[in-house]
Chain A
Amino acid sequence: AQTVTQSQPEMSVQEAETVTLSCTYDTSESDYYLFWYKQPPSRQMILVIRQEAYKQQNATENRFSVNFQKAAKSFSLKISDSQLGDAAMYFCAYDMRFGAGTRLTVKP
């Protein structure tokens, strides 16, 4: 079965610092996409970043980047220069399956 695991229910980071959120997944496919979504208190799910499995290069979107380790089936999200607006639930997703989420708190 395809599963997505986020082992950090909660994380905290100081404003302007860097934080990494972990995600592992299980698949037998060789070509697929992985996603990180953000859900702020408004509850609107927003795509943060996407990684294509056949691409060696880690995806980057401004302050957000991923560390994609295909062999280890690991897909972590790094947020640099954290801002107060980054506070939210973050979900890792593969196919139509979502991890349990990590609640990120940003301390001023």
Chain B
Amino acid sequence: DAGVIQSPRHEVTEMGQEVTLRCKPISGHNSLFWYRQTMMRGLELLIYFNNNVPIDDSGMPEDRFSAKMPNASFSTLKIQPSEPRDSAVYFCASSYEAGSSYNEQFFGPGTRLTVL
């Protein structure tokens, strides 16, 4: 099993540019999560998909952030336009959600985003 795959691992961009982060969840998992990790705010849930449908996007900071999951094996997190305060490590995680229980989340290696 390849685990959760994220790309790129590192991204450096300039303020105002569009950034797209990509995630491939573990095959068979039906829940996908995007998190942002910073020193100041810790690990924050941005958005959660279940069966490719966004369930909770209350953590998305503002309209500059958008996420999609066009199919069960792919998701993107887009920031447009990017700002220096978006600099963080972005994690994608997936899990198999059985009923109302929440199972272990499997995390990708993260994408370190630096916005200059």
Contact = CB atoms under 8 A, between A and B. Distances in A.
Interface of A: 31-33, 35, 37, 43-47, 50, 91, 93, 95-101
Nearest to B103: A33
B43 interface: yes
A38 B109 CA distance: 13
A43 B56 CA distance: 25
Nearest to B31: A96
B101 A101 contact: no
Given A33-B101, A50-B104, A96-B102, A45 B93 contact: yes
A47 B104 contact: yes
Interface of B: 33, 35, 42-43, 45, 48, 56, 89, 91, 93, 100-105, 107, 109-110
Contacts of B109: 43-44
A32 B43 contact: no
Contacts of A93: 105
Contact of A95 (B42, B93, B102): B102
Contacts of A97: 45
Contacts of B91: 45
A33 B102 contact: yes
A32 B104 CA distance: 12
B102 A44 contact: no
22 contacts: A33-B102, A33-B103, A35-B104, A43-B109, A43-B110, A44-B107, A44-B109, A44-B110, A45-B91, A46-B107, A50-B104, A91-B43, A93-B105, A95-B102, A96-B33, A96-B48, A96-B56, A96-B105, A98-B35, A98-B43, A100-B42, A101-B43
Contacts of B48: 96
B108 to A, nearest CB: 9
Given A95-B102, A96-B102, 20 more contacts: A31-B101, A32-B101, A35-B104, A35-B105, A43-B89, A43-B109, A45-B93, A45-B105, A46-B107, A47-B104, A91-B43, A93-B105, A96-B33, A96-B45, A96-B48, A96-B56, A96-B105, A98-B42, A98-B43, A99-B42
